[in-house]
Amino acid sequence: MIHLKIDGECVEVPEGTTILEAARKLNVHIPTLCYHEDQAVKAVCRICVVEVEGQRLLPTACNTPVSEGMVVKTASPKVIKARKNVMELILARHPQDCLICSKNGSCELQKVAKDLNMNQPNRYELTLRSTKKDESSPCIVRDMKKCILCGRCMESCGKVQGIQVMAKENRGFHTEIVPPYGKDLVDTSCVGCGQCVQVCPVGALSIRDNTDEVYRQTAAGKTMVIQMAPSVRINLAEALGQKPGTVSTGKIVHALKKIGFYKVFDSDFSADLTIMEEGTEFLKRLKEGGTLPMFTSCCPAWVKYCETYGPDLLPHLSTAKSPQQMFGSIIKTYFAEKEGLKREDICSVSVMPCTAKKFECKRPEMKDDVDIVITVVELAKMIRTAGIDFDNLEDAEFDVPFGLGSGAAQIFGITGGVMEAALRTVYEVVTGNSLEERLEFTAVRGFEGIREASLQIGDLTVKVAIVHGLANAKKVLELVREGKADYHFIEVMSCPGGCIGGGGNAPTTWKKLAARRDAIYQEDRNLPIRKSHENPYVQQIYKEFLGEPLSEKSHELLHTHYIS
């Protein structure tokens, strides 16, 4: 163990600990910008400099290991002067339009500048990059004038997703982070997952904001209908300042009503529908010798990834649309008919934890089933704009008949959840036995990037794999291509942790993901119905409208095809 003093207080830490980590142990706050707790240390911004007794130069706390007897000052006049100088240099390259920036109020640069009390005019002249704003993607907006070159986005896109859409180009003052050949994002292999947005400390990468469209359609007198994804109820309160894992289903429904939605429906309902279709498709492939392993198809960033990097493997993807799109189809047909509306009278909105869902709804084969997708972060902004006192809002109920989902649908929002939901139904349908207290398939749970499990279903040992993070998906695609993956069914979610870690949420860390995970599994346990095939409204819609899973009508409305 190493003993040192930080701001006069003694601390004991293991060898190899950095000054930043040691300070955090003492609850001493050292400002950071390029540092991210889940990423490799970069030490490029230099805002975390500290003073170490006996050293002339100021080391960066994020990458300097502690040593025995070290005496550190984290906020001496010399340190503050140096940090203010670093901040002046950063601000001389950063637009000063905070009031109209998407990150206003949640920007890490803004916070550090405020904490540093930058109360004098900048001594350096403002010299902005000339890069134009890239609004070509339906999912995210790049405004590289605002980039502070921290490199976090490159790590998320490159290491976590294995895609590396952006890279550093040029040197020194001219350094920029850009897609290859200065292409627009839409012309790259970007899958729209928003993991780069998740880690960007400033407004250089942001979620495409579609909130104005919602207001426009409401003002135009459209019948406003919204569906809410499984993980939104887990993540929304956090985006409004509550602690991670605060579930607020009823409050969100109430807030959406206040904002002007005529019907508020639950995507958990269509997640159950997805299980009916996808589960039946899986059984059909098993029985009739269809293409196996079958891949899940509810994550649009994964579908796009597979279309781009595995066109030869597209027959493995389930043809089932995602719950979002299945719901869109049902709203513009069955629901419209029941309400005596034409499809063009309805504005079908969905609130999602996901930026890629914005792209999914614009795919031509999806028609206008879902008109607008807003993310958790956008809904949080709309709630603030409407002046809603969210914390003190009474709970409200989803509208019927699409307001009921099972616990199986609820866990769609976490890695392994789609598989677990499918297994609950497939097992009972095939064996005719009830799972009773063995309902929770703990073998498919967890945060390991690639997990596998097997389950005895009747005579067959079903082998499954669960993957999250596209860099992991790449490895599994390779195994399938080489014929080395003896799985029957593979769940892939692009975002680490699944949708609870989606790009449309407030910034995510593994620590926050653990709290969100606990909340989502608790929600499953709280629900009276925990298997998709037991959802009475799902049973009703098959009886009244769809016939049975994989019927002609189901194929027309609930299934899709892929583009290589």
Which residues of the chain form contacts with ligand SF4 (CB under 6 A)? 140, 156-157, 161, 163, 165, 190-196, 299-302, 353-354, 356, 493-495, 498-499, 502
Please report the DSSP string for 32-57 in residue order: -SS--TTS-----S-TTB-EETT-SS
Spatial CA neighbour of 541 closest among 276, 324, 325, 343: 276
Q: Which of 238, 281, 378, 523 is catalytic?
A: 281
Q: Which of 298, 299, 306, 347 is catalytic?
A: 298
Residue type, 544: E
In the complex, what is the shortest distance from the CB of residue 11 to ligand SF4, in angstroms, rounded to a whole number?
A: 37
Taking only Cα atoms into account, the Rg of the chain, rounded to an integer number of angstroms, comes to 25
Q: Which does 480 bind (CB under 5 to 8 A by kind): ligand HC1, ligand SF4, none?
A: none
The smaller minimum CB distance to ligand HC1, of residues 201 and 496, is found at 496
Q: What is the dihedral of CA 324, 330, 331, 337, to 10 degrees?
A: 180
The smaller minimum CB distance to ligand SF4, of residues 39 and 74, is found at 39
In the complex, what is the shortest distance from the CB of residue 267 to ligand HC1, in angstroms, rounded to a whole number?
A: 4
Spatial CA neighbour of 375 closest among 360, 390, 364, 386: 360
Q: Which does 412 bind (CB under 5 to 8 A by kind): ligand SF4, ligand HC1, none?
A: ligand HC1
In the complex, what is the shortest distance from the CB of residue 417 to ligand HC1, in angstroms, rounded to a whole number?
A: 7
In the complex, what is the shortest distance from the CB of residue 322 to ligand HC1, in angstroms, rounded to a whole number?
A: 4
Residue 451 and residue 464: Cα distance in Å, rounded?
8
Q: Which residues pair with 346 in a beta bridge?
A: 223
Q: Which of 42, 357, 358, 512 is catalytic?
A: 357
Q: Which of 51, 108, 277, 360 is catalytic?
A: 360
Residue 502 and residue 494: Cα distance in Å, rounded?
8
- Cβ neighbours around 384 below 10 Å, total: 13
Q: In which region does residue 195 sit, left (phi positive, over 0), alpha (psi from -120 to 50) or beta (all else)?
A: alpha
Q: Single out the residue of 499, 538, 541, 558 in contact with ligand HC1 (rule: CB under 6 A).
A: 499
Residue found under tokens 């290589």: 564
The smaller minimum CB distance to ligand HC1, of residues 109 and 326, is found at 326
| Sequence-ordered strand ranges (E) for 181-235 | 205-207, 223-228
**Residue 440 bears catalytic tag:** no
Q: Single out the residue of 298, 330, 421, 422 in contact with ligand HC1 (rule: CB under 6 A).
A: 298
Q: Single out the residue of 354, 379, 408, 439 in contact with ligand HC1 (rule: CB under 6 A).
A: 354
**Residue 318 bears catalytic tag:** yes
**Residue 200 bears catalytic tag:** no
**Is residue 322 a contact residue for ligand HC1 (CB under 6 A)?**
yes
In the complex, what is the shortest distance from the CB of residue 537 to ligand HC1, in angstroms, rounded to a whole number?
A: 15
Q: Single out the residue of 498, 501, 503, 549 in contact with ligand HC1 (rule: CB under 6 A).
A: 498
Q: In which region does residue 427 sit, left (phi positive, over 0), alpha (psi from -120 to 50) or beta (all else)?
A: alpha
Give the HSE-up count for residue 157: Cα atoms under 13 Å, Cβ half-sphere: 25
In the complex, what is the shortest distance from the CB of residue 448 to ligand HC1, in angstroms, rounded to a whole number?
A: 18
The smaller minimum CB distance to ligand HC1, of residues 47 and 320, is found at 320
**Is residue 323 a contact residue for ligand HC1 (CB under 6 A)?**
yes
Q: Which residues lie closer than 8 Å to 455 by C-beta, 6 or more apart?
A: 423, 427, 441, 443, 461, 462, 464
**Residue 10 bears catalytic tag:** no
Q: Which does 279 bind (CB under 5 to 8 A by kind): ligand HC1, ligand SF4, none?
A: none
The smaller minimum CB distance to ligand SF4, of residues 102 and 161, is found at 161
Residue 323 and residue 317: Cα distance in Å, rounded?
15
Before 244, cis peptide (omega within 30)? no
Q: Which of 137, 231, 318, 532 is catalytic?
A: 318
The smaller minimum CB distance to ligand SF4, of residues 14 and 180, is found at 180
**Is residue 557 a contact residue for ligand HC1 (CB under 6 A)?**
no
Q: Which residues lie closer than 8 Å to 463 by C-beta, 6 or more apart?
A: 452, 453, 454, 486, 487, 488, 489
Residue 245 and residue 74: Cα distance in Å, rounded?
33
The smaller minimum CB distance to ligand HC1, of residues 271 and 349, is found at 271
**Residue 499 bears catalytic tag:** yes
Q: Which does 199 bind (CB under 5 to 8 A by kind): ligand SF4, ligand HC1, none?
A: none
Q: 353, 377 in Cβ contact below 8 A? A: no
**Residue 135 bears catalytic tag:** no
Question: Residues 501-520 vs ligand HC1: string with x where CB under 6 A?
Answer: -x------------------
Question: Which residues within the stretch 229-248 sit at the binding site for ligand HC1 (CB under 6 A)?
Answer: 229-231
Angle at 495 between CA 520 and CA 532, to 5 degrees: 45
Q: Which does 191 bind (CB under 5 to 8 A by kind): ligand SF4, ligand HC1, none?
A: ligand SF4
Q: What is the dihedral of CA 140, 144, 147, 151, to 10 degrees?
A: 70
Residues that bind ligand HC1 (CB under 6 A): 229-231, 267, 271, 298-299, 322-324, 352-354, 357, 412-413, 498-499, 502
Known catalytic residues?
278, 281, 298, 318, 357, 360, 365, 499
